[in-house]
Structure 1
Amino acid sequence: MTHELKNIIKEYQQATLKGQECVLATVVALDGSSYRRPGVRMLILQDGHMVGAVSGGCVEKEVVRQAQSVFNDHTAKIMTYDGRYRLGCEGVLYILLEPFRPDLKYLEAFTGILKQRRGIKVTSYFEKKEASNKQFGSTIDFGDTVLPMHPNFEPGEGLELFKQEMEPCFKLFIIGAEHDAVQLNALASQIGWEVTIIAPPAEEKNILDFKGAHEFLGIVPEQFPIHSIDDRTAIVLMNHSYSKDLNYLMVLKETQPIYLGLLGPHSRREKLFNELLERSPELSFEFLDSIHGPAGLNLGAETPQEIAVAIIAEILSVKRKQDPIPLKDKKTGIHD
């Protein structure tokens, strides 16, 4: 969710340069089921342009229509959308529409939180019925300060609360710069992950070759930023070089990313592990067991694009602690 708010703020800053006002839409409650859950957001610009989505696409036009009153009177409101007869999702959405005008202090605090990779807490104040009220709205707790989504907002008493904790953006290190790395970056960036590409200093590529990437580092294995690995970090080794992968494994052997993937067949993996143990006899078997090699789920992937899908799917399954199965075989709800 953090990456969606990150994109919303980026678009808001561009909109203000053009003199456009903005309204923020947030799903704050749900009766039944829906395509997406409470906490999703979209930004509506005064010219009708939308950033993000609150559903699979059917709700958005109505949200834009309902937002017009907020543009006119600058008063937040709750709208409802009954999808039982239109979406087939068997749910009723309660969507908070509020003026979105974060000030400089808010923007600076948000930028700082992203850099520090700290979480934030969002609280939205509303009533679970269609109504307009200047005391409806949202605030963000940045840890050391709580700031509103628009200046001078003060929540009313006795309102319902929707509280959401938003973790730092998920981070992916791609070690390698070949065509399959380009495809993996494209997919990971599209779903909102912060991607860092790592390649040898002599590599004839740069960040312009990796659309959407957060960072490009031309470094040797010993310069890998170990300190930046946390429990929301995945690493995929895809150098197409046995020696380079071995050197990176030597550097990463004391780390604990949530996911460490290794491209290549089982035989290559075993050879790497054997040589790694020869160089570091004290190496724990837990580290070796934690490596996903060959990286990716068994989807029958063949092309670089398909391989990227298989790797992303496996990372998601590890991140969400899921045992991948067809949804048709799942006995509980999709999001349970």
Structure 2
Amino acid sequence: MNQQFDNIPEVALAWHRAGRGVVLATVVQTWGSAPRPVGSQLAIAGDGEMAGSVSGGCVEGAVIVEAQDALQDGKPRMLEFGVSDDEAFAAGLACGGRICVMIEPVGAVMPESMLADLVAARAGRLPIAYVIDPVTQTRKLADAGAYPDRFTADKSGYEGAAFIAIHNPPLKLIVVGAVHIAQPLLVMARLAGFDPVLVDPRSAFGTPARFPDQTIIEDWPDEALMAQGLDARCAVVTLSHDPKIDDPAIITALGADVFYIGALGSRRTHAKRMARLTGAGITPAQLKRIHAPVGLDIGSISPAEIAISIMAQITQCLRKPQL
């Protein structure tokens, strides 16, 4: 959640079912320079084992003590910490401020069945929100339609008295074509919080030597994209410059709810592509979804600069789809 799809809910559920007792601590409010965003979580087991974090280390100790007390009495807690400038600097922050953390014993406060439903939705790549009213102590799960702006922005936070924790599926970028531009693009995508995948049926191109530590699929793009599963958290970029490779990928992406489709090539190349796709039965409305020439016009020349322009355009379409 909030660009980090860690496994804290999954860990908490496993610990609870193992009879170890577990508390979920969630950041519900913080200062702007915090190392962990609102929605970040820490799971604390009854035997002291921990997973995740809620700060840079300046409040973890106090949260753990309160969590152990919450396991004993089965009651939720809302903790508020004033962090001094010195403490904040030691934790890697620019300045001090305020952080609020909600403590929930699983079972006693957060129902096991609700946590299980949350974990199941995450496993199925379904966007889901965990909504808590701290006044009435009611809890529920809601789909993306309930808070569309928050899901688009990956932004947990308060709406009125209720706190909404956004759990979005991981972002995925599928790059078709193991060309030079793909090398920096895959690295940048991972740094931006995406799970990148490289697809190219040409074994000589998509090699581990050229793309170390990357997921490489040596298959035809239409089959690879269908096997990957395409949804609203996916972006697809075609770079091969070969219609036999790029066109099937674009057609497959146009048939799915991906939030971005980009295609490398000049305006002349794209005009020819549009004619081919029209002949393949693609409608004018579908063709408008293709960003080509790919990337924002920032005067890019080198492969790395082109990759920057592509990631900038992908980010713009993700965060400000109206532009």
Alignment partner for residue 34 of structure 1, among 32, 35, 53?
A: 32
Partner of residue 233, structure 1: 234
SS at match of 2:4: helix
Distance 2:123 2:214 in 1: 17
Give the conservation status (yes or no) of the 8 Å contact 1:189–1:212. Answer: no
Q: Is the 8 A contact 2:118 2:141 kept in 1?
A: no
Shift of 1:292: 0.7
CA contact 1:173–1:236 (8 Å) conserved in 2: yes
State the shift of 1:212 in Å: 6.4
Q: Report the counterpart of residue 130 of structure 2 in structure 1.
A: 122
Could you say which residue in structure 2 is the equivalent of 1:284?
A: 283
Contact 1:299 1:310 in 2 (8 A): yes
Superposition CA RMSD, Å = 4.6
The answer to whether the 8 A contact 1:80-1:94 is kept is yes
What is the aligned residue count? Answer: 286
Residue ranges of structure 1 left out of the alignment (5+ in a row): 128-134, 144-159, 325-336
AA partner of residue 223 (structure 1): E
Please state how far the C-alpha of 1:7 moved relative to its aligned partner: 4.2
Offset from partner CA, 1:168-197 (integer Å, 9 cap, x none): 333322212334324323332344334333
Greater shift in the superposed pair: 112-121 or 312-321: 112-121
Matched residue, 2:193: 192
Sort the Cα spacing of 1:103 and 1:126 in 2 relative to 1 into closer, same or farther, 3 A: closer
Q: Which amino acid aligns with 1:113?
A: A
Q: Which string of whole-angstrom CA distances, capped at 9 and with x for unpartnered residues, describes residues 202-252 of structure 1?
A: 356478946365xx4322244244483333322110124354223434555
Structure 2, unaligned stretches of length 5 or more? Answer: 144-160
d(CA) in 2 for partners of 1:89 and 1:140? 35
The residue that corresponds to 2:220 in the other structure is 220
Distance 1:95 1:104, change over 3 A: closer
Structure 1 CA distance, aligned partners of 2:212 and 2:2? 22
Q: Name the amino acid aligned to 1:34.
A: G
- Choose between structure 1 and 2 for higher RCO, CA contacts under 8 A separated by at least 6 residues: 2
In 1: Cα distance, 2:49 partner to 2:119 partner: 27
Alpha carbons of 1:206 and 1:81: their partners in 2 closer, same or farther (altered >3 Å)? Answer: farther
Q: Supply the distance in 2 between the matched residues of 1:95 and 1:225 (Cα, whole angstroms).
A: 40
2-structure distance, mates of 1:48, 1:274: 60
**Aligned to 1:245, what secondary structure does the other structure show?**
helix
1:321 counterpart residue number: 320
Q: Does 1:69 align with 2:70?
A: no
The residue aligned with 2:173 is 172
Counterpart check, 1:95 vs 2:96: no
Structure 2 CA distance for partners of 1:121 and 1:233, relative to 1, 3 Å? same
Amino acid in the other structure paired with 1:26: T
Whether the 8 Å CA contact 2:181–2:304 is kept in 1: the answer is yes
Q: What does residue range 1-336 of structure 1 map to in structure 2 within 5 Å?
A: 1=1, 4-8=4-8, 24-29=24-29, 34-35=32-33, 39-43=38-42, 51=52, 60-70=56-66, 73-75=69-71, 77-82=77-82, 92-97=98-103, 112-124=120-132, 126=134, 141=141, 161-200=162-201, 202-203=203-204, 205=206, 209=211, 211=213, 213=215, 216-226=216-226, 228-252=229-253, 254-277=255-278, 279-280=279-280, 282-321=281-320
Q: Structure 1 counterpart of 2:171, which letter?
A: F
Indicate the SS of the match to 1:185. Answer: helix
In the aligned structure 1, how far is the partner of 2:301 from the partner of 2:106?
A: 45
- d(CA) in 1 for partners of 2:14, 2:300: 39
Deviation at 1:269, TM superposition (A): 2.0
Aligned-residue offset at 1:261: 0.3
Kindly state the Cα deviation for residue 262 of structure 1 after the two structures are TM-superposed: 0.8
- In structure 2, the partner of 1:327 is none
In the superposition, the TM-score normalised over structure 2's length comes to: 0.64
Shift of 1:95: 1.8
Distance between the aligned counterparts of 1:260 and 1:321, measured in 2?
15
Residues 210, 121 of structure 1: alpha-carbon distance in 2 compared, 3 angstrom cutoff: farther
Post-superposition shift, 1:72?
Answer: 5.0
User: Match of 1:96, as an amino acid?
Assistant: M
Corresponding position of 1:332: none
- State the 1:290 CA deviation: 1.9
Q: Distance in 2 between matches of 1:100 and 1:304?
A: 49
**Contact kept in structure 1, 2:122 and 2:167, CA below 8 Å:** no
